[in-house]
Every structure is written in structure tokens, then in C-alpha cells.
Chain A
């Protein structure tokens, strides 16, 4: 089983749609989780951290289910500028390394 596994994608959605990304992690000792966004040939940029209680930042909502070792990201009212690859990240449980998923590509179409 991959350490961090994401929906393969790509997702193609119209503007205004709601889209959900899912991610599972294999290390039960992982304590910190993040969603990063990466535009083509650019560096990953932190989108949001994921907290146990779930957290929201504008149109973005992240959820964590520790029992199922599952993380999600919901984007509401998607914009053309949301088109990117979304990377799910978990720490390795030793506070020294982050494990990256392969990423899910999102294309928001006019």
C-alpha cells in the first residue's frame, strides 16, 4: 500500500461546481496533514493544514478521519484559477519528514 494515496484524477469540472478530493495514508502514527497546490512546473504551495476537527478557509474545507486514515478536501464554487494539481501530504510520524501523494489534477472549465 502506498504511504499516501490519492484519487488518480484528472478531474474536469465546470466553473461553479463543487469538487472533492480524497486521500488515504498508511502510517497510523502520522500527526500532521496538509493540502498543497502545485501549478504546472511550479513549486508546491501550502493550501491549508488539516486539523482533527476539520477546518474551512473560504471555499475550501478539509476533513480528517483518523479512524479511517482518510483526508478530504472540498472546493466549493470552483474558479478557473483553481485549476492545478492538489497534493495530499502527511508527516511520517517522526516529525522529520513529509510524505507526499502523487497529486490529483483538477481542470476547471468555463
Chain B
């Protein structure tokens, strides 16, 4: 069964450094998402992406965050200058069409900011 893949599984970064999280969505899916989950808290929506542009973003997704689909397969989340509070699990998801359809998740990247 096709799946969403994320790399790396764990990223440790010094505060203030830039980090790029990578995702390969399911190949025939058109909508891509990033979520984060701080330990013990709920899954929080960050951004959705369709047709090479952001279709929606949350208030968490400020100027420090950006997303890109640099080629036909990868979907990346960049955090420009990381803060301690960015430490969380970051999940990428994709869906065949819009958010009325189920989203399929990668197994996440654990980001630890020191």
C-alpha cells in the first residue's frame, strides 16, 4: 500500500538554526499538509498546499515557516530560526483531493531544539 514517507525520523538542532523537514507524499495525491504535535498535546494544523501554493495556514505558521515542493515528489517544511518551543513531532500528510477526503500521514519527524 502506498505511504507517505518522512525524513529524518529524528532531528536535533541548536536554537536559532534552520531546519528542513522532508516528506514524500503518496504519488497520486494532490493536497499536502503539515501538522505538529507537541508532546502530550493535540495534533495542530500548520499548512495545506495545493497546486504549488499554500491554500491555508494556521496562526502557528508565521514568517519563520515556509513550505516548498522543489520537484515532483518532495514536499518540505523549513523553519528558519528555530526556537525551543518548536520542539515537537511534525507530521506530513496527503490526500487525493481536498480535506473532505481522509488524509494519510507519514510516521513523523521528531524535532528537538536544544
List A residues at the B interface (Cβ < 8 Å): 31-32, 34, 38, 41-46, 49, 87, 91-92, 94-103
B100 and A91 contact, CB distance less than 8 A: yes
Give bound CA distance, A101 to B43, whole Å: 8
Task: Answer whether A98 and B107 are a contact pair too, CB < 8 Å, given A43-B91, A46-B102, A49-B102.
Answer: no
Check A42 against B102 for contact (C-beta < 8 Å).
no
Contact status A96-B43, CB under 8 Å: no
| Cβ contact within 8 Å between A32 and B42 | no
**B interface, over-half SS:** loop
Q: In whole angstroms, what is the CA distance A19 to B25 when docked?
A: 34
Interfacial residues, chain B to chain A (CB-CB below 8 A):
41-45, 48, 55-56, 89, 91, 98-108
Nearest CB on A from B35, distance (A): 8
- Can you list 6 A-B pairs, Cβ within 8 angstroms, ordered by A? A31-B100, A44-B43, A46-B104, A91-B99, A102-B41, A103-B42
| CB-based contact A100/B45 at 8 Å | yes
Distance, CA A34 to CA B43, complexed state (A): 14
Interface centre among B42, B56, B91 (most CB of A within 10 A): B42
Residues in A neighbouring B42, C-beta threshold 8 A = 87, 100-103
Residue of B nearest to A49 (CB): B102
